[in-house]
Amino acid sequence: MSRIGKAPIEIPKGVEITISDKSLVTVKGPKGSLEQQIDPAIKVSQNDGNISLERASDAKPHRAKHGLYRALVANMVQGVSEGFVIEQELVGVGFRATTKGQQLQLALGYSHQITFELPKEVQVTATQEKGKPPVVRLESHDKQLIGQVAAKIRSLRKPEPYKGKGVRFVGETIRRKAGKAAGK
């Protein structure tokens, strides 16, 4: 039995869950609404404030999907009730970030500014404190979407191992390399 798959999901107050007969789970809460199509081999049931998922058999594909769909539904419940936040810092001389509506404008050491258009489900704020690198804060109720947006922003200038310059997640440690002079 999957340890993740057999754990029940608690439904917080203010969250409404609808399970259709076509294996479509809809979760509505104060932060928004999300839908997820679930494989017919996984049975979703709701009883007294909990959601539980059961698989049809112990076949390998069913075991693999059991934990996956439980994690997806749990992320949906957490997203519509609390939301998700990802913070990224821009480390480098002259690196800046500004926001204008749903656009994020980045100066990442290239000859031009990069304008990044964000989906309407993601809210962005950019802060700059003296003596610290600029921080871009992304908020959304959809974990998959916010992770995809953060990865795309990071791909614009990945942290390099020699000086550590680039876009990194707050708290992330970059594996540093010694330069040419250290080899002698």
Q: Can you say whether the dihedral through the CA atoms of 128, 84, 173, 156 is positive or negative?
A: negative
Structure tokens at 70: 């439980």
Average confidence score pLDDT of the chain: 91
Average pLDDT, integer, range 34-62:
90
Using one digit for the tens of pLDDT, what is the confidence trace for 66-88?
999 999 999 999 999 999 999 99
Using one digit for the tens of pLDDT, what is the confidence trace for 86-143?
999 999 999 999 999 999 999 999 999 999 999 999 999 999 999 999 999 999 999 9
Neighbours of 138 (CB within 10 A): 21
What is the pLDDT at residue 5? 82
- The answer to whether domain 3-81 and domain 84-172 are alike in fold is yes
In what side-by-side order are the strands of the sheet with 103-107?
A: 96-100, 103-107, 114-117
Going from N- to C-terminal start, the domains of the chain cover 3-81, 84-172
Report d(CA 25, CA 11) in Å as an integer.
Answer: 13
| pLDDT tier for residue 56 given thresholds of 50, 70 and 90 | confident
Architecture of domain 3-81: Alpha-Beta Complex (3.90)
Report d(CA 150, CA 146) in Å as an integer.
Answer: 6
Q: What percent of the chain has pLDDT over 90?
A: 74
Query: Which of 1-5, 30-34, 130-134, 142-146 comes out lowest in average pLDDT?
Result: 1-5
What is the pLDDT at residue 182? 59
Taking domain 84-172, whether its CATH number is 3.90.930.12 is answered by yes
